[in-house]
Amino acid sequence: MPTAPDSPHTVNALGQPVGLPVPGWTPPPRPSATRLEGRYCTLERLDADRHAESLHRANAAAADASSWTYMTFGPFADSAAHAAWVRDAAAKTDPWFYAIVDERSAAASGVAAFMRITPEAGCIEVGSIHYSPALARTRAATEAMYLMMAHAFALGYRRYEWKCDALNAPSRCAAGRLGFSFEGVFLNATVYKGRSRDTAWYSAIDSEWPCLASAFEAWLAPDNFDATGRQRLALSELTRPLLRNTERE
């Protein structure tokens, strides 16, 4: 079973353990419409006019609706319903949605969002991640997560969260691969699509980011892939030693 690491602390004048001081703490800004540009993809602020049609076309290529099972939104009956959701999502500031534009096709093929944005605590979550078949399991898919994490820490956030339905095995596996440490499961955390959800929690914190960034950059480097596009070194091999806690020890 996982065990929580001892939290860094100091002792106050009463002999009580208290958290370490955060000198000069200033809450970071909220995300803005800055484009996040990488080698394999670009993240743009979600916009119905620019992205709705290509997102629907990319998602329509799926063999079934299984990618939507653990999403709070979707699947969509038709392009009009999908476009209506994009318009609504694009108007919100929390969650703050990005369209993921694959550099190869120059078309939006997935979405992801910053959410539960809490500048006063320096905490931000990544979620509502949905990849079309064209984007899933590609370098662009991983780079999109790297770009969002890098942006959050560059803004000054101290804690970057990943949460998912505890029954969503692929998402839980992805969290560890991407360098998020497991923190536990919150029972009966919410209700969505008429179902009860236990929520698995993961996080990465600012002090871990430099090593995680190096792991991402090593994996994303062109020379990590052979002539057929097969990875030479798995990202999980690079991030596993950096995790504070894993689900199975």
Distance CA 158, CA 181 (A): 14
Asked whether residue 233 is assigned to any structural domain, the reply reads: yes
Q: What is the pLDDT of residue 246?
A: 81
Q: What is the pLDDT of residue 1?
A: 44
Give DSSP secondary structure letters for 98-140: EEEEETTTTEEEEEEEEEEEEGGGTEEEEEEEEE-TTTTTSHH
Distance CA 190, CA 125 (A): 16
Q: What is the pLDDT of residue 249?
A: 43
Instruction: Determine the angle formed by the axes of helices 139-155 and 209-220, rounding to 10 degrees.
Output: 150
Greatest C-alpha distance within the chain: 64
Asked whether residue 18 is assigned to any structural domain, the reply reads: no
Q: How far lies 214's CA from each of 42, 210, 219, in Å?
A: 20, 6, 9
CB-based contacts of 235, cutoff 8 Å, min separation 6: 142, 177, 178, 215, 216, 219
Asked whether residue 46 is assigned to any structural domain, the reply reads: yes
Asked whether residue 179 is assigned to any structural domain, the reply reads: yes
Asked whether residue 4 is assigned to any structural domain, the reply reads: no
Q: How far lies 94's CA from each of 2, 32, 139, 141, in Å?
A: 32, 11, 27, 22
Q: What is the pLDDT of residue 5?
A: 55
Asked whether residue 15 is assigned to any structural domain, the reply reads: no
**CATH number for position 67:** 3.40.630.30
Asked whether residue 5 is assigned to any structural domain, the reply reads: no
Q: Are 128 and 95 in contact (CB under 8 A)?
A: yes
Number of structural domains (the chain) is 1
Which pair of structure tokens corresponds to residue 135? 């984007």
Distance CA 31, CA 117 (A): 9
Q: Which amino acid does the sequence have at 175? A: A
Average pLDDT per 10 consecutive residues for the chain, totaling 249 residues: 67 94 95 94 98 97 97 97 98 98 95 98 98 97 98 98 98 98 97 97 98 98 96 97 81
Asked whether residue 170 is assigned to any structural domain, the reply reads: yes
pTM of the full predicted structure?
0.94
Question: Residue 73 is part of which domain span?
Answer: 30-242
CA terminus-to-terminus distance, the chain: 6
